[in-house]
Amino acid sequence: MTTRLHLGCGDRILPGWENVDGRAGPGVNRVVQIHGGLWVLDTAAYSQVYSSHVIEHVFPDKLPAVLLDLHRILVPGGKLTLATISLEGIFHNAFKRSYSREAVNAYLYGDAKSSDSPLQAHRQVFTEEWLTEYLKDAGFPAVRPWALTDYPEIAALEDCASSSYHVTLYLEAVKC
C-alpha cells in the first residue's frame, strides 16, 4: 500500500499522511534530513509527496540529488507537489507593493534569525521555468502549476495562500 508523504511538515501536520521533518515534534512520524537523508525512505513507497517551502533551503549543488531521491520514492504516476519561493513574486511585490528592504530580504534569504539556525536560510529561489527544468532533469516529464483548490487539505496549511502578497510558486511533477 502506498501512502502520501508530507516532507518538511514542521508543526503543520496532515492527518492520514506520513509527516516527516528535520526535527522531532508533535505529530512528526519520522525525522529525516533533506540534505542527504532521503535515502532512508523506501523506493516507490509514496503516491504523493507534498513539500512546502523546503526546497529553497537546499544548496543548489545538492538540489539535483534531492529531486532524484524524491523521484525514486514515488510510485509510477506519483505526484511531487511543491510550494516554494517565486522569484517573480518577490520582485513583483517589491516594486508594485513597495515592500521594505527587510521584507524582500526575508523572502530572498529566509528567516531573519537564520544565523541562529542556518538550516532556515534560503539557499536559492526559483522561477517556474527554472524549477521545471530541474524537475525534468530529475526524470519528471510532466510538470504543471497546481492550485490550492486542487488539494483542500493542503490549502488549510498554506498560510501564504491567504496572503495578498503572492510570493509562492506552486508546481507539481508526475513520475511516469
Structural domains present in the chain: 3-174 (3.40.50.150)
**How many CA atoms are closer than 13 Å to the CA of 118, on its beta-carbon side?**
2
| Single-letter code of the amino acid located at 162 | S
* 172: β partners: 81, 144
- In three-state secondary structure terms, 10 is coil
For residues 68 and 161, the answer to whether their CB atoms sit within 8 Å is: no
DSSP 8-state class, residue 37: -
Q: What local confidence, expressed as pLDDT, does residue 164 receive?
A: 41
Q: What local confidence, expressed as pLDDT, does residue 161 receive?
A: 47
pLDDT tens track, the chain, 176 positions: 569 999 999 999 999 999 999 999 999 999 999 988 999 999 999 999 999 999 999 999 999 999 999 999 999 999 999 999 999 988 887 787 777 888 788 888 886 565 667 777 899 999 999 999 999 999 999 999 999 999 999 998 876 544 545 789 999 999 99
DSSP alpha helices (H): ranges in 13-164? 63-73, 87-96, 101-109, 128-137, 152-155
Distance CA 22, CA 15 (A): 18
| Single-letter code of the amino acid located at 159 | D
Q: What are phi and psi of 129, to 5 degrees?
A: -65, -45
Q: Write down the pTM of the prediction.
A: 0.91
